[in-house]
Chain A
Amino acid sequence: MKSFSDWSIRHKLTALLVVMACVTTVSVIVPMGAFDLAGLKQSMALNLTTLSDVLSRNSTAALTFHDAEAAQDVLQALRAESSVTAACIYAQDGTPLALYVRDGSTTNFVPPPVQVRKATFERDRLVIFHRIVLDSEQVGTIYIESDLQELHQRLRAYNTAALGTALIALLLAFLLARGLQRPISRPLIELVHTSKAVSQGADYSIRAGLASRDEFGQLVFAFNDMLEQIERRDLQLRRHREHLEEEVASRTTELFAANARLKLHAEALKAAANSVLITDLTGKIVWCNPAFSVSSGYSSEEVLGKTPRLLHSGKHSSEFYRQMWETIGAGETWRGEIVNRRKDGELYTEEMTITPVSSQSGWITHFVAIKQDITNRKLAEQALSQAEEKYRAIFEDAVIGIFQITPEGRPVSINRALAQMHGYNSPEEFLTEVSDLSHEVFVDPLQVVHLLHEVAADGQVRGAEVEVYRRDRTRKWVVANMRANRDANGEIVLYEGTIEDITDRKIAEERVQFLAYYDALTGLPNRVLLQDRIGRVLAGARRRKEVVAVLFLDLDRFKIINDSLGHSFGDALLQEAAARLQVLMREQDTVARVGGDEFVAVLTSVKRASDAAVAAQRVVSAMAAEFCVNGHSINVTCSVGISMFPEHGLDGETLIKNADAAMYCAKQRGPNNIEFFTDDLNIQIMERLTLENGLRLALERKELFLEYQPQMDIATGGIVGVEALARWRHPELGLVPPDRFIRIAENSGLIVPIGEWVLMTACTQARKWQKEGLPPMRIAVNVSAVQFRQDGFRDLIRRVLLETELDPQYLELELTESLLLSNADVMFSVLQELSEMGLKLAIDDFGTGYSSLSYLRQFPVNKLKIDRSFVRDVAVNVDDAAITTAIIGMARTLNLKVLAEGVEDEAQMSFLRAHRCDEIQGYYFSKPLLADDFATTVIDATLDVPTRVPAEIAMQPAAQALLPALSFSSTESD
């Protein structure tokens, strides 16, 4: 038998179709049968489960009430189910309650397993154990068993049907295949016959018959086509051979003509100015022109057969040459600059073009290099680039801003300094964000137009001050220098220039401007601006017939605060005071600081004087509130003087002066007072001025003199000291009361020279008395606070003592309480030093000040002088007596001497003696005396009984005590 591969194609196709039909039939029938059986099994199991569910439900009551009969009834229902062979209901404890067995069946009942529910196929039956549940509590189990007869029947029927179907399918497949293979096999067989005919006869004109349009048809068509091509090529080959013979003849003629042209080209190359070098494919030089010999120094004979490596300068990397070869090797032209070395060793730069030359077949055969010596041009370029580099460095690194802008105002290039000046990180950032200078940078857009015009006209602008915006829209002042950059036709191409930041200078200028008109500390207008403002206000008020008030405010005791708490504290206090004043004022009002602690407020639109008084009162109240400055709390009082326009003056200066006078008057009356200017005040001021002017001359005119009032020791009745009292006899006004001229002297500063004179005169006098033989005694001299605070005060004392040769123990300085308090630390050190020098220190007018006695303990004081105001009524007023007694008592405990001032009669004297006061001073003992009189009195007193002096003075009792001025007149009359 033949193997399958040898079979005819007809049989092969038939067998193939029959086998495929068989496979298809089987692969459909078998899964369908399996699927059908599985479905049947599933539905049987489901049936049984449903049945057990129904029975379970029906048997719950029977189980609950243990009714076997009822349970049996339930199972009897199974008779209707032919497949069920047996069933059983088990009670919860596993005992069967009811049984059912189909007639003719046998079964073994087994006790129910725990937790079985699913229907299970066993070998020949289907069984189920089902829990019987009542209200989620298991009350029993049901068991049902069913046979598989239905399943077996179905399986048999299926097998029979499948076999039948398969046989029919086989038969049909065979019959169909026999018919169907025919259209496929027939054309093939025909083609085989045709090809056999061609090969046997070598006859290419035979063609196969066309059968169909399918692949066999195409095969036949291709076979015929192939035969036709072979036939045609035979013919063509013959024609080609004839044509080639003609071609060879014509080419030979052309070659002669080309040789003639080449000769002409070679002559041209020899004459060319540029070097020309030709190498073969390997780089060997095959030809060079005379220009090459000139630039390289090598003759034609020297280089032929060599490579251009001969010229290598060593200035280029091997990579450079590699790339060059790569380019020309790929058939492309290489262009570039190259540094070569002449025969004499000198370097020269050439611009070179190397072109590959290819043969007609496309293969490169030669390279042609054309070179030009550009050494000189190269040097010039280098110099230019260096210059540019230098300029760029200057441009980039300059600290001033440099810019170029178009005539339209668009920035073209700027340097880093300019960008930073405007708040940009880099010039690029600036150029990206700013396109129009006039609107985006210049605060005044018109200014840039103006500036550009000016540059166009004059060629340049220098030092133009311009305000510009920075990137964050803050403003900045710069100074700009600009010039125009023109092209050959004189048209302006660019504007360029420099920018310098002058914001700091501008600020300084503004500051200077500010300081000229404003007080630096408080920011208030100063006196200059005040004058200006007041002038305008008065002009307006004059036109509108309005009233203006000028308030002059002075902080009380500010100097003491400043001295004791420090200047920074004082400054802060003034700032706070200024702030409070500003809050009080309306917009049209002006507040100015005109002196250390002096402020002036100008109030417009005031209707009446009382309005001004109300405003002043508000100022006083505002200042009365506690100041909290640098962590300190302090209470400050102030005094306010008011002058009104036009009543008290027609110009600013007068109004301020008069308000000042009123303020002075208010201050006299005590803290927190307000005073209007009055004509009386004016008179007082005039008088004060007269006195002040007179006092200035008093020293040189020798109008001042001293009187001396003795101090008596109560216990001994002897003179123990003397107080020097300053007197002034005015040429027109006569004797001026000391309290008046001393105050003027203190306010005007004249107290310093006057005090010095008093000290010097008193000490000189004391020493003179000693020399004259009078018993030595203390000379008491009053020292003013102003005088005491002078830096040179201690030196003054030393000088006086040295010049007068007075023993320090005989000099007693009388100080006031307030002086001690003003700057306790400094005072203490000064007093300590004076005390160490041997001087005596007494507190004058004791009791009128603020200090407690215990406070004095700290100071090296020797004596207290009880103020005359206490002594006057000591014999009649209980309060004064008590104070006096207390002072004496406490001074004793502090180990201080006590002196009573202003003792005028016996009653006072007895009281003081009774309370053991140490010393007295007053008319009772002696009025103040001129130096000569004093000497006489002392001599008399030491010679005679001490009681003589009082007897003499008793002639003029009360009047002398009350009016010291009068007593001077009487002294004068002595």
Chain B
Amino acid sequence: MLVLGLMQAQGQAVSDEQVKAAYLYNFAKFVDWPAESFASPAAPIRLCVLNDQAFQSQLEQIVTGKNITGRPVLAIAVQTGEESRDCHILYINASQQPRHIFDLLQGTSVLTVGETKGFLEEGGIINFVCQGDQVHFQVNRKAAVQAGLRMSSRLLSVAKSVIE
């Protein structure tokens, strides 16, 4: 919100991509990862973007200098599913094929975020949906539980829909 607020204040039109990038950062505040997914108490939260340079730089602007529960936040560009296994959040845009990546992420605690219809059904955890000029999101709670992620009920309460 703060980030978006700043952008609006500077007179820029806020695009859906900027909103999604800000949401991606905010998700991290409402999700608990298992302790073993961090190397140390001060290890960074890795927000990864798969093959989307533009989105990654958007995200980078937002997270630079930010901390969540004492951890620094990094925006990281990844090219392959293998690289993504270390991520905490992985954003997969509409031009990617998510199914293959979900297979590779089996057994990890990566919060996958997509923007494609049917993303959740294929095993994704959060999916953005646009209604008019509003960006909403849906949550696959089952997939989140399988990945060992604990989501705040507050996050679930603002989700457009929750698949149990």
Contact = CB atoms under 8 A, between A and B. Distances in A.
Given A134-B29, A135-B68, A65 B158 contact: yes
Contacts of A93: 5
Contacts of B5: 92-93
B1 A139 contact: yes
A57 to B, nearest CB: 7
B138 to A, nearest CB: 12
Nearest to B29: A135
Interface string A73-93: 100000000000000000111
B158 to A, nearest CB: 4
Nearest to B154: A61
A62 B157 contact: yes
Given A61-B152, A65-B23, A137 B158 contact: no
Contacts of B23: 65
Nearest to A58: B154
B154 A92 contact: no
Contacts of B64: none
B157 A64 contact: no
Given A61-B30, A64-B26, A92 B158 contact: no
- Prevailing SS type, chain A contact patch: mixed
A63 interface: yes
Interface string B1-39: 110010000000000000000010010011000000000
A61 B68 contact: no
Contacts of A70: 157-158
Nearest to A74: B157
B69 interface: yes
Interface in A32-63: 57-58, 60-63
A92 B23 CA distance: 16
Contacts of B69: 135
Interface string B84-118: 00000000000000000000000000000000000
A505 interface: no
Contacts of A626: none
Nearest to B160: A67
Interface string A119-162: 00000000000000011010110000000000000000000000
A65 B1 CA distance: 7
Nearest to B19: A66
A139 B157 contact: no
Contacts of B29: 64, 134-135
**Which of A60, A62, A64 counts the most B-chain CB atoms under 10 A from its CB?**
A64
A66 B22 CA distance: 11
Given A70-B158, A135-B69, A65 B2 contact: no
B155 interface: yes
Interface residue tally of chain B, by bracket? 10 to 19
Contacts of A57: 154
Contacts of A65: 23, 26, 137, 158
Contacts of A64: 1, 26, 29-30, 158
Given A134-B29, A135-B29, A135-B68, A61 B158 contact: yes
Contact of A73 (B2, B137, B157): B157
Nearest to B9: A93
A139 B2 contact: yes
Contacts of B68: 135
A60 B69 CA distance: 15
A66 B136 CA distance: 10
Interface in B136-154: 137, 152, 154
A420 to B, nearest CB: 83
Most buried by A among B1, B5, B30: B1
Contacts of A134: 29
Contacts of A92: 1-2, 5
A401 to B, nearest CB: 90
A91 B4 CA distance: 12
Contacts of A137: 2
Contacts of A135: 29, 68-69
A70 B158 CA distance: 6
Nearest to A136: B67
Contact of B1 (A58, A66, A73): A66
A62 B1 contact: no
A708 B131 CA distance: 156
B135 to A, nearest CB: 9
A70 B155 CA distance: 10
Given A135-B68, A135-B69, A62 B158 contact: yes
Interface string B26-68: 1001100000000000000000000000000000000000001
A67 B158 CA distance: 6
A137 B23 CA distance: 15
Contact of B154 (A60, A66, A91, A140): A60
A91 B2 CA distance: 10
Contacts of A60: 154
Nearest to A67: B158
A67 B5 CA distance: 15
Nearest to A91: B1
A73 B158 CA distance: 10
Nearest to A135: B29
B139 to A, nearest CB: 12
B124 to A, nearest CB: 18
B53 to A, nearest CB: 26
B58 to A, nearest CB: 17
Contacts of B137: 65
A98 to B, nearest CB: 12
Interface string A727-771: 000000000000000000000000000000000000000000000
A61 B1 contact: no
Contacts of B30: 61, 64
A63 B1 contact: yes
A71 to B, nearest CB: 9
A139 B158 CA distance: 15
Nearest to A62: B158
Nearest to A71: B158
Nearest to B66: A137
Interface centre among B5, B26, B69, B155, by most A CB within 10 Å?
A: B26
A63 B4 CA distance: 12
A459 B2 CA distance: 123
A93 B137 CA distance: 23
A64 B22 CA distance: 9
Nearest to B25: A64
Contacts of A63: 1
Nearest to A140: B1
A894 to B, nearest CB: 99
Contacts of A67: 158
Interface string A926-956: 0000000000000000000000000000000
B113 to A, nearest CB: 13
Contacts of B2: 92, 137, 139
Interface string A256-281: 00000000000000000000000000
A58 B154 CA distance: 6
Interface string A176-220: 000000000000000000000000000000000000000000000
Contacts of B152: 61
A623 B137 CA distance: 111
A104 B68 CA distance: 43
Nearest to B26: A64
A135 B1 CA distance: 13
A134 B158 CA distance: 15
Given A61-B158, A92-B1, 13 more contacts: A57-B154, A61-B30, A61-B152, A61-B154, A61-B155, A64-B1, A64-B29, A93-B5, A134-B29, A135-B68, A137-B2, A139-B1, A140-B1
Interface of B: 1-2, 5, 23, 26, 29-30, 68-69, 137, 152, 154-155, 157-158
Interface of A: 57-58, 60-67, 70, 73, 91-93, 134-135, 137, 139-140
8 contacts: A57-B154, A61-B157, A64-B158, A65-B23, A65-B137, A65-B158, A92-B2, A139-B1
Shortest 4 CB-CB contacts between residues of A and residues of B:
A61-B154, A67-B158, A61-B158, A70-B158
